[in-house]
Structure 1
Amino acid sequence: MTAEFSAPGQVLLSGPMPRFGLPRYLGRQVQGAPDATLGIFGHVVCPAVLSPSLLAHVPRTAIIRDFHCVTTWTAPGVHWEGWQFSDVWAAFLAELARPDVTHVMVSGHDGYRACVPLEELMRADVLLADHMNGKPLTPAHGAPLRLIAPQLYGYKNIKHLRRLELLPAPVSSRVGRLLSHPRGRVDLEERSGTGVSRFWRWMYRTQVSGYLCGARALSEHSHPITRP
């Protein structure tokens, strides 16, 4: 693991980082036009579209961070490239957002979404990423654009970004409090919104080998979703 982050309850992943997620979303790999257009909705002055041509005006950023899955595995030293969320916010989103925005519902083309506190998104190492380990993102890892928030578990790092909905208060995700936490911070082991963290650590770890095998199998037999 990288030196700057100690992740309680995590174990080092052996082998390449898999495509991972809930079974209902895991087999959905988005195909189609390779652009990174984002719809901006919700608590805004007016809805807008953030296009690749607009993103091109924002300086690019590269980071190397460990990637932490809630099921207790960690992929060490993943190299991500893209645009710092705080830079995108300052350049485009701040003028659209109403003053009391506190959260962002981040949604992907695969139907998965997660609510993330704005203060977490404004950290310097949170990216809208389009490259992984020196290559453009593949459909397996969230092309064309993926949210990367290294301090949060993978279930907050949304693949196949489609829209950002700005919110004045948190909204529950579709998976509910059982399988997600309102913040999902790795250093505090916020694996679930219910129960004790160590219980969830134990539960996931007893099944992680099966989860990883299942994830790789589903990835190999995934079906494409054509983006509109």
Structure 2
Amino acid sequence: MSDGKQTQTAANDRVPPGQTVTEGFPVLHYGSVPYYNDMSKWDFRLFGLVEQEITISHKDFMALPRQEFNNDIHCVTTWSKLDNVWEGISVQEVMKRVKLKPEARYVMLHAEHGWTTNLPLDDFLRDTSFFGIRHNGQLLTPDHGYPVRMVVPHLYFWKSAKWIRGVEFMERDKPGFWERNGYHMYGDPFKEQRYDFD
């Protein structure tokens, strides 16, 4: 049996330096929130260093097998939210539909309004990375990325692109939107890789 102190220590081990745990789910983004009136116009692209680029319709994307994911999330603005329960589609499931070229090493996530963020391919392919559709039993709201957001819980949450529309596979790393504007190229919360002004 564990006592309260041990439980608190275990929780503290999950919270990166400089973070404060919140029970809420703060809304942070740049630009306007996209709203969708006709989902037949929504699609999802896998392109770049692939043998054949593919586009998946909204209907076909939503028909992909889903599973439950449990994680903690950490925002660069210093809040952390523990014990999230998601319903989503694993990266591995989506990757069954495309064959990468051997030189692919990085990805650029492409979202609405031209928003982008970069990841090493290995981080994108982790078992813990997925395309989120529901959070804590509820469909994602527009503010939180409806209809689909990327979720990469081991990195700061700006890497979990809202309103994702595609993944570009690349040979070399390059900065996305926030990375071009001073954010760290990788973003490990436990190393406090928040900003990179060098």
TM norm structure 2 = 0.83
Higher RCO structure, 1 or 2 (CA under 8 Å, sep 6+): 1
Residue 86 of structure 1: how far off its partner (Å): 2.4
Q: CA offsets, 1:164-220, max 9 Å, x none?
A: 11111111112335532221112221112236xxxxxxxxxxxxxxxxxxxxxxxxx
With 123-132 and 56-65 compared, the bigger mean Cα shift is at: 56-65
Match of 1:198 in 2: none
Distance 1:40 1:72 in 2: 32
- Asked whether 1:108 is paired with 2:111, we answer yes
Match of 2:55 in 1: 49
1:122 to 1:83, Cα distance in 2 relative to 1, 3 A: same
Q: CA offsets, 1:112-136, max 9 Å, x none?
A: 1101111111111111011111111
With 148-157 and 105-114 compared, the bigger mean Cα shift is at: 105-114
- Asked whether 1:60 is paired with 2:60, we answer no
1:163 to 1:155, Cα distance in 2 relative to 1, 3 A: same
Correspondence list, 1:88-107, <5 A: 88-89=94-95, 91-93=96-98, 95=99, 97-107=100-110
Correspondence list, 1:148-167, <5 A: 148-167=151-170
- Asked whether 1:17 is paired with 2:22, we answer no
Correspondence list, 1:62-211, <5 A: 62-89=68-95, 91-93=96-98, 95=99, 97-177=100-180, 179-194=182-197
Distance 2:50 2:80 in 1: 36
**1:146–1:157 Cα contact (<8 Å) kept:** yes
Distance 2:29 2:182 in 1: 11
Distance 2:78 2:186 in 1: 17
Identity over the aligned pairs, expressed in percent?
A: 27
Distance 2:27 2:35 in 1: 13
**1:149–1:156 Cα contact (<8 Å) kept:** yes
Residue 104 of structure 1: how far off its partner (Å): 1.0
- Asked whether 1:39 is paired with 2:39, we answer no
**1:177–1:193 Cα contact (<8 Å) kept:** no
Question: Which structure 1 residue ranges, 5 or more long, are not aligned?
Answer: 196-228
Distance 1:7 1:34 in 2: 38
Residue 54 of structure 1: how far off its partner (Å): 4.3
Question: Which structure 2 residue ranges, 5 or more long, are not aligned?
Answer: 1-7
Structure 1 vs Structure 2 CA RMSD: 2.3
Match of 1:201 in 2: none
TM norm structure 1 = 0.73
Q: CA offsets, 1:133-184, max 9 Å, x none?
A: 1111111110110000110111101001111111111111123355322211
With 52-61 and 133-142 compared, the bigger mean Cα shift is at: 52-61
Residue identity matched to 2:117: A
1:40 to 1:81, Cα distance in 2 relative to 1, 3 A: same
Distance 1:34 1:145 in 2: 12
Aligned length: 188
**1:105–1:115 Cα contact (<8 Å) kept:** yes
**1:178–1:192 Cα contact (<8 Å) kept:** no
